[in-house]
């Protein structure tokens, strides 16, 4: 019947693709080690630079394909910031654009076979989420002073439940960076692990065509997820930024 590998069962190693490795083969990984994660983050930064430089070089009245792609991305993120966070958030647009482009390119480059997905590392997404959290705290207190704390005091609720809601809102506020980081990291991690699990079914000869179809379908889904997760991360950043700029409900 089925061609199972030696040892009886099927061998699935879906988590092996997320192993950090030193680029130069050393086994101890420290703070400043250049790993495959660093390499692919550098690739995505390079790709963004190439994309934006190529997109803005011509500045033609009738845009070329690259130029209209770059302009559309810019306009898309700019409208999102204005729509969600308000006009006065335009000052922070460069930060949000940087976040969006980095996550989008890291997600898409991770879909190249044999590549590494930096956004599946909770260390990477965690740093991004903490930077957003700290930015929101700093902007919130700098703009509103202690008035930023009115974020937790929901005046539209009945007076009796306000203290309870304040406690819940306060806890939720501190959970923000966790959910922000884990949502992106978890979605990418789960998707890539799923790809490998489906690929593992190809060990059974009879199931191999089905496994191939499955991989193709999951891959298409992952392309979608890569875009959506970048969008969701950015739009949540905009929502948090709106809280910092206008904490009054």
Least distance from C-beta 57 to another protein, angstroms? Answer: 32
In this structure, what token pair is assigned to residue 77?
């993120």
> Which residue, 106 or 230, has its beta carbon nearer to another protein?
230
In this structure, what token pair is assigned to residue 239?
């929502």
Residues sharing a CB contact under 8 Å with residue 172, sequence separation 6 or more, in sequence order: none
Part of the chain binding another protein (CB under 8 A), chosen from 78-86, 149-157, 160-168, 200-208: 78-86
Among 70, 77, 80, 230, binds another protein (CB under 8 A): 80
Q: 3-state DSSP call for residue 247?
A: coil
Helices and strands (H and E) in the chain: how many: 6, 0
> Is 189 a binder of another protein (CB under 8 A)?
yes
> Which residue, 139 or 187, has its beta carbon nearer to another protein?
187
Token match 């250049």: residue?
34
> Comparing C-alpha atoms, which of 17, 51, 21 is closest to residue 36?
21
Total residues binding another protein (CB under 8 A): 17
> Is 20 a binder of another protein (CB under 8 A)?
no
39/21 Cα distance (integer angstroms):
11
Read off φ and ψ for residue 35, nearest 5 degrees: -110, 180
Least distance from C-beta 24 to another protein, angstroms? Answer: 26
> Is 82 a binder of another protein (CB under 8 A)?
no
Query: CB-hemisphere CA count at 13 Å for 150?
Result: 12
> Which residue, 70 or 187, has its beta carbon nearer to another protein?
187
Helix/strand/coil percent split, the chain, to 5? 75, 0, 25
Interactions with another protein, residue window 159-188 (CB under 8 A): 179, 182-183, 186-187
Least distance from C-beta 194 to another protein, angstroms? Answer: 11
> Is 86 a binder of another protein (CB under 8 A)?
no
> Is 83 a binder of another protein (CB under 8 A)?
yes
In this structure, what token pair is assigned to residue 38?
């660093």
Among 41, 84, 99, 136, binds another protein (CB under 8 A): 84
Query: For binding to another protein (CB under 8 A), which residues are involved?
Result: 15, 80, 83-84, 179, 182-183, 186-187, 189-190, 228, 231-232, 235-236, 239
């Amino acid at each position: 019947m089925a061609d199972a590998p030696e040892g009886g069962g099927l061998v699935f190693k879906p988590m092996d693709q997320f192993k950090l490795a030193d680029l130069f083969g050393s086994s101890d990984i420290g703070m400043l080690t250049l790993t495959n994660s660093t390499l692919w983050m550098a690739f995505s930064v390079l790709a963004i630079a190439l994309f934006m430089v190529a997109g803005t070089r011509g500045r033609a009245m009738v845009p070329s394909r690259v130029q209209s792609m770059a302009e559309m991305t810019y306009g898309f993120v700019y409208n999102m910031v204005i729509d969600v966070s308000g006009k006065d958030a335009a000052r922070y647009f460069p930060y949000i654009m940087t976040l969006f482009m980095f996550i989008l390119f890291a997600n898409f480059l991770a879909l190249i076979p044999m590549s590494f997905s930096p956004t599946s590392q909770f260390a990477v997404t965690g740093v991004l989420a903490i930077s957003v959290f700290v930015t929101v705290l700093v902007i919130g207190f700098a703009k509103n002073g202690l008035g930023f704390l009115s974020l937790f005091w929901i005046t539209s609720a009945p007076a009796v439940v306000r203290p309870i809601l304040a406690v819940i809102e306060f806890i939720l506020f501190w959970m923000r960076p966790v959910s922000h980081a884990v949502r992106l990291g978890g979605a990418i991690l789960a998707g890539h692990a799923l790809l490998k699990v489906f690929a593992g079914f190809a060990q059974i000869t009879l199931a191999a065509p089905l496994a191939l179809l499955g991989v193709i379908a999951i891959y298409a889904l992952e392309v979608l997820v890569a875009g959506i997760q970048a969008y969701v991360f950015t739009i949540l950043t905009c929502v948090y930024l709106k809280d910092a700029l206008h904490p009054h409900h």
